[in-house]
Amino acid sequence: MKTRVAITNTVLSNTGDAAIALSIMDQLRSENPQAEFEFVVFDSAAAHTSKLYPELEIVQLLSLLPPFRPGKVWRRVNGVRVAVVRGLASQSAVRRAASRLSSALFGGAFRRAIRALEGVDLVISSGGTYLVDHYNFSARVAELKLAKSLSKPIVLWTQSLGPFDDARARRNATEIAEIADAVYFRDERSKLSRESLGVSAGTQERVVAADSVFGIDTGRERSVDDQGALISVRKWKTTITGVPSDLKNYRASVVAASRLLEERGLPVRALSTCQGVPSYGQDDSLVARDFFHDSSRVKVDGDFHDPYEILDELAGAKIVIATRMHFAILALISRVPVVAIAYEFKTVELFKSLGLGDYCIEIENVTPEWLAERVNRLLDAPEGPQLAASVLQDTKLSAATPATSAVVRAALKNRVG
């Protein structure tokens, strides 16, 4: 019998997030070859992402009203939706009232998503960086509590968490800690943030593992073309610790680096994992056009690319400057030298863990001189900062750790039984 798995809390409009979801599927299949899987993905914009990934079964996140619209009206209406989801996770009369209200307010798509959740054997909260103080993740809490009320085992795939200094974030994180059966962390810092909550009940497994994207299937053949440079940039307004900043040095540094790369004879393209999806609130190609508008030689790629298309592009790169972390990871597994500019602690921790800490810097600390020195170093000795094959293999094995968890194996056993 097939094991049906829900992967929730996804944002497939973001190619980095899509790479996480696809790698989770790859890892479950490869680590459990005796099992057959069916996947249903709960996404933030299912109507749009179903067109980007027609091969996947995608339904709308129960706790998020599509489409997202900035402003008070959307927030208030979505607040009603979150309250309904919390009601569905409650007992008896409250649950019945919430069920009637959900049918009246949100229609058939909402009911289909409920049925999809009811029909799964395992719920995986997609890996990523949403359980941090920077975001309000109370809606995610509601969705996971509903899954638990339906007696579904819950695994939080590899996460960056914390630090939970904000009272709301700490409260929401505590609620999730109480119901998650297994949590996997990208780094020790995230694990310590989880332990600081002081919740002993709930989570059976708490393990540090590599980011899931290190385990994405890279077996397909790729052509090598221009041997150029790729730069990913993004819009950002704070330091790595959340202090507001104009980050003028960040802009100046990547622009200067693009000119240096051109002087050294490399074609330069701006490419990122968040672009080309009009319905999504982030488009890094617009930022790139702004950054590089004075440089006619920098080609800005504004198209959408799925993870495998990004890997195709990276196969022809000689060097990468990455602001988006999963763009950096896809470059690393492609054995392309990378300089990373970190806007959140997750990238700093990743590069330190791989022995590449000298090639990563906080976004508020980057300077044209620092970046130029790393670019020249990579171009002059590209083999030095590449991940060794053995390290890459060990990291890939670590990334697959959640797929072998006792919670996953129990779900598989229960399905067979």
3-state secondary structure the chain: CCEEEEEEEECCCCHHHHHHHHHHHHHHHHHCCCCCEEEEEEECCHHHHHHHCCCCEEEECCCCCCCCCCCHHHHHHHHHHHHHHHHHCCCHHHHHHHHHHHHHHHHHHHHHHHHHHHCCCEEEECCEEEEECCCCCHHHHHHHHHHHHCCCCEEEEEEEEECCCCHHHHHHHHHHHHHCCEEEECCHHHHHHHHCCCCCCCCCEEEECCCHHHHCCCCCCCCCCCCEEEECCCCCCECCCCCECCCHHHHHHHHHHHHHHHHCCCCEEECCCCCCCCCCCCCHHHHHHHHCCCCCCCEECCCCCCHHHHHHHHHCEEEEEECCHHHHHHHHHCCCCEEEEECCHHHHHHHHHCCCHHHEEECCCCCHHHHHHHHHHHHHCCCCCCCCHHHHHHHHHHHCHHHHCHHHHHHHHHHHC
Q: Is the pLDDT of residue 131 over 90?
A: no
Strand-by-strand arrangement of the 317-322 sheet: 299-300, 268-270, 228-231, 317-322, 338-342, 360-362
Q: How confident is the model over 301-339, as pLDDT tens digits? A: 999 999 999 999 999 899 999 999 999 999 999 999 999
Where does CATH 3.40.50.2000 sit in the chain?
229-386
Grade residue 389 by pLDDT with cuts at 50, 70 and 90: confident
* Confidence (pTM): 0.92
What CATH number was assigned to the domain covering residues 3-209+396-414? 3.40.50
Grade residue 93 by pLDDT with cuts at 50, 70 and 90: very low
The CA-to-CA distance between both ends of the chain, in Å, stands at 9
Q: Is the pLDDT of residue 59 over 50?
A: yes
22/389: higher pLDDT: 22
The pLDDT value recorded for residue 409 is 92
CATH superfamily for 229-386 is: Glycogen Phosphorylase B; (3.40.50.2000)
Summarize the confidence of residues 138-145 as an average pLDDT: 91
Q: How confident is the model over 206-257, as pLDDT tens digits? A: 899 999 999 998 765 555 566 799 999 999 999 998 899 999 999 999 999 9
Q: Is the pLDDT of residue 180 over 60?
A: yes
The pLDDT value recorded for residue 156 is 95
Q: Is the pLDDT of residue 385 over 80?
A: no
The pLDDT value recorded for residue 414 is 76
The pLDDT value recorded for residue 413 is 82
Q: Positive or negative CA dihedral for 205, 30, 127, 229? A: positive
The pLDDT value recorded for residue 136 is 86
The pLDDT value recorded for residue 294 is 83
Share of the chain above pLDDT 70, in %: 90
The pLDDT value recorded for residue 105 is 56
Tell me how far apart the alpha carbons of residues 137 and 153 are, in angstroms, rounded to a whole number: 20
Strand partners, 47: none
Q: Is the pLDDT of residue 371 over 70?
A: yes
Grade residue 95 by pLDDT with cuts at 50, 70 and 90: low
Summarize the confidence of residues 73-100 as an average pLDDT: 71
Tokens of 148: 């638990």
Average pLDDT score over the chain: 89
Summarize the confidence of residues 268-281 as an average pLDDT: 95
Grade residue 340 by pLDDT with cuts at 50, 70 and 90: very high
Summarize the confidence of residues 44-66 as an average pLDDT: 93
